[in-house]
Amino acid sequence: MERHPLMESSAPTSAPSAIWHIVWQVVEGRDLLANPALIARIRSRVLAAHRQPGRELLHYLLTPAEMHLLSRLPARTAPGELARAIGNIVARWVRQAQGAPGVVFAGPYRAYAIESDEAARNELRMLAWRPVALGLCKAPTHHTSSSLRVTLALRRVEGFKVWGPLRLFKGELPEARAAFSARVASRPSAIEIRQWELSRGMVLAPGDAGTFSEVTRPVHGLAAALVAASQPPGIDGALMLLERWVRVKLALRDGDASALSSHTLAGARVRALVASLAVQLDLCSAASVARHYGRAKATLSERMAACRDSAEDRAILGLPLGRIVEESIALRCAQPVAGYRDAAVL
């Protein structure tokens, strides 16, 4: 029986490797899809850069303002080696295509390690839906400047090997392609999209920097999930979610959430617990939490130290962060906790 190349290469390779998501964003006024010839040149360059031994292109996506690569590289190969082989020449081609000198990319490339095959499968799903999230099309397969249609056998691109992404799915070619299709058919929710954008640096989380100014900062992992689910969106909204979780936790223990006011020890305790969780999650600094509440950082730091000395508070802070974030997000849609509205201002 003749075997398809996917079947021959479906077993894990002996050489250790790592999967990276490499992304570039362009400055305003630049367009990676300026004309068909530019698109073809960029695609050819991306494919050529993956011809070195051990490199494998799992997915590529071009939009007017973004370029994404999902690449498998040898374990000791830095993603910068691949990025440098692509970014500079693409920038030159964009300048030529648009007939305008100047900066093309908004800062250097960013590279994110994809920790598992399951994470890579989800990354493929998020990248498939990225053009829809950007309003470029109504369905993922309508966007032609990506490898999605090639992997689904809807078109052919010379040099792109479909068994790269399909190796992440079980079975031989038909089964693996069906599993890939089923995975990318699941549309991400608005919160999933927001979390992914935050985790990949596509957007930054806004936060209060003082009385008259606002700053933005990157957030990742669980902090990104919290920010994505917050209302208002941003660092301050995420702190409000954490605050409500802390209130509920203390109400379960103390049974008197309505007693929490701005000048009580209970109120100071809530602020300190929120600040401690924010730091653990790498959501923001204690100074940012102090500004959020309009309090002095020194006073807040003293209360945070007191929490670390309290066995009861250590038990709260020692809960799995994933569980805390999950419960905080769940509380967003829950009914108001008795007494919570009476204690809205700490």
Residue 257 in this model has a pLDDT that exceeds 60? no
DSSP 146-215: BSHHHHTTSS--TT--THHHHTTSSSSHHHHHHHHHHHHHSPPPHHHHHHHHHHTTSS-EEEE-SSS-EE
Residue 94 burial (C-beta neighbours within 10 Å; 0-12, 13-18, 19+): buried
Structure tokens at 281: 């999650």
Instruction: Give the separation between CA 317 and CA 346, rounded to whole angstroms.
Output: 20
User: Among 133-142, 160-169, 293-302, which stretch is predicted with the lowest mean pLDDT?
Assistant: 293-302
Task: Give percent above pLDDT 70 in the chain.
Answer: 85
Mapped onto helix, strand or coil, the DSSP state of residue 58 is strand
Q: For the chain, give every domain's residue range.
A: 5-187, 195-343
The predicted model scores a pTM of 0.75
Instruction: Indicate the pLDDT class of residue 346, thresholds 50, 70 and 90.
Output: very low
211 versus 170: the higher-pLDDT residue is: 170
What pLDDT does residue 342 have?
Answer: 32
pLDDT digits (tens, 9 = 90+) for 291-329: 988 889 999 999 999 999 999 999 999 999 999 998 998
What pLDDT does residue 208 have?
Answer: 58
Instruction: Give the separation between CA 50 and CA 56, rounded to whole angstroms.
Output: 6
With vertex at residue 296, the alpha carbon angle to CA 281 and CA 316, rounded to the nearest 5 degrees, is 35
Q: May I ask the CATH architecture of the domain 5-187?
A: 2-Layer Sandwich (3.30)
pLDDT digits (tens, 9 = 90+) for 207-254: 754 444 456 778 888 888 888 888 877 889 999 999 999 988 886 444
- Pairing status of strand 17-25 against strand 66-74: antiparallel
Residue 250 burial (C-beta neighbours within 10 Å; 0-12, 13-18, 19+): buried
Instruction: Give the separation between CA 22 and CA 172, rounded to whole angstroms.
Output: 28
CB 279: neighbour CB atoms within 10 A? 15
Residue 283 in this model has a pLDDT that exceeds 60? yes
The label of the residue with tokens 């660092």 reads: 235
